[in-house]
């Protein structure tokens, strides 16, 4: 796939990214608004990766590294562009970033019922750790 380009997002991309997630992503997140994504790009300008083909946004992933852990979020490919290697290309770019920054292990939260995602993550070499659960506490109303 020669015409696929993966690049980091800039503030001008963010409205398009939010619209893209409404079509392509699994579920929504507490940070899914302009302020939330702006904060991400402001805090870590290299974290939000976009895949484009012929200038069209076809996929995203957030490769977040806080100096301690490497977390992947928002892996999403346009529904009409799936099974073309875009998700794999995004994960490869994210992993390159992590390694460059000194990260040692990447992880992602994956819904138990999201079987398509299980296939994609497994194909990229990820596996579940059944002995963990996510413990959460909201910090805003
Ligand atoms: C999960 C997702 C990002 C995968 O993106 P993609 O670009 O289609 O993935 P790829 O084409 O790189 O697939 C890589 C491999 O993953 C596996 N895979 C991906 N989708 C699959 C499916 N629907 N069924 C079986 N295997 C699948 C295959 O092994 C595939 O390799 P192959 O096509 O050579 O057989 C995409 O399906 C998506 O956006 N889903 C909705 C959002 C989502 O659930 N994101 C994950 C949140 S945790």
Angle between helices 115-123 and 86-101 (to 10 degrees): 60
CB 123 within 8 A of CB 88: yes
Task: State if residue 75 touches ligand 1 by the CB under 6 angstroms criterion.
Answer: yes
pTM recorded for the entire structure: 0.97
Q: Which of 32, 81, 116, 134 to mutate to test the pocket of ligand 1 (most atoms within 8 A of CB)?
A: 116
pLDDT in tens, 42-82: 999 999 999 999 999 999 999 999 999 999 999 999 999 99
Average pLDDT, whole number, for the chain? 95
**Residue 51: its H or E element:** strand 48-53
46 alpha carbon – ligand 1 mean position (Å):
23
CB 88 within 8 A of CB 77: no
Q: Domain spans of the chain? A: 4-123
105 alpha carbon – ligand 1 mean position (Å):
21
pLDDT in tens, 10-24: 999 999 999 999 999
Q: Class assignment of domain 4-123?
A: alpha beta
Angle between helices 14-24 and 34-43 (to 10 degrees): 120
Task: State if residue 28 touches ligand 1 by the CB under 6 angstroms criterion.
Answer: no
User: What is the reported pLDDT for 141?
Assistant: 80
Task: State if residue 84 touches ligand 1 by the CB under 6 angstroms criterion.
Answer: yes
């Amino acid at each position: 796939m020669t015409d696929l380009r993966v690049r980091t997002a800039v503030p001008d991309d963010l409205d398009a990214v939010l619209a893209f997630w409404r079509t392509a992503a699994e579920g929504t997140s507490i940070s899914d608004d302009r302020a939330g994504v702006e904060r991400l790009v402001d805090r870590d300008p290299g974290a939000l990766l976009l895949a484009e083909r012929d200038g069209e946004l076809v996929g995203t992933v957030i490769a977040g590294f806080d100096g301690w852990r490497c977390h992947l979020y928002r892996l999403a490919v346009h529904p009409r562009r799936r099974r073309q290697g875009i998700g794999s290309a995004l994960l490869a770019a994210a992993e390159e970033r992590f390694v460059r920054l000194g990260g040692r292990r990447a992880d992602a939260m994956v819904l138990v019922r999201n079987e398509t995602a299980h296939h994609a993550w497994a194909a990229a070499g990820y596996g579940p750790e059944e002995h963990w659960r996510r413990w959460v506490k909201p910090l805003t109303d």
